[in-house]
């Protein structure tokens, strides 16, 4: 784990799914699926802040380098003017 040894090591040797354009096909599929689901939700619902959400947001402490909000509540209202369905 010394810096000299780390420099000799191939940077991709500990990446089990690979790196670059030929990395795991499952990763690209999962990212595409998440994007499609997000587009569907945004296209079919108006997402608004719920009255239960505290402003300003409170964050959990003790997380290693992560900024994680404590509680966020949203209201999802079905759209009448669905831009995707047209």
Q: Model confidence at 5, in pLDDT bands (50, 70, 90)?
A: confident
Instruction: Express each pLDDT in 11-57 by its tens digit.
Output: 667 666 666 666 777 878 888 999 999 999 988 899 998 888 888 88
Query: What CA–CA distance (Å, rounded) separates 32 from 38?
Result: 10
pLDDT at site 38: 94
User: Which positions make up the binding site for heme?
Assistant: 24
User: Which positions make up the binding site?
Assistant: 24
Which pTM was predicted? Answer: 0.55
- If we measure between CA atoms, which residue out of 73, 70, 45 comes closest to residue 60? 70
């Amino acid at each position: 784990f010394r810096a000299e040894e780390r420099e000799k090591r191939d940077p991709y040797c500990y990446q089990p799914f690979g790196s670059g354009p030929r990395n795991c096909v499952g990763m690209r599929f999962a990212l595409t699926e998440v994007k499609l689901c997000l587009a569907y939700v945004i296209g079919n619902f108006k997402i608004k802040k719920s009255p239960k959400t505290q402003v300003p947001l409170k964050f959990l402490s003790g997380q290693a380098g992560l900024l994680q909000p404590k509680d966020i509540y949203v209201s999802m209202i079905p759209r009448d003017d669905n831009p995707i369905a047209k």
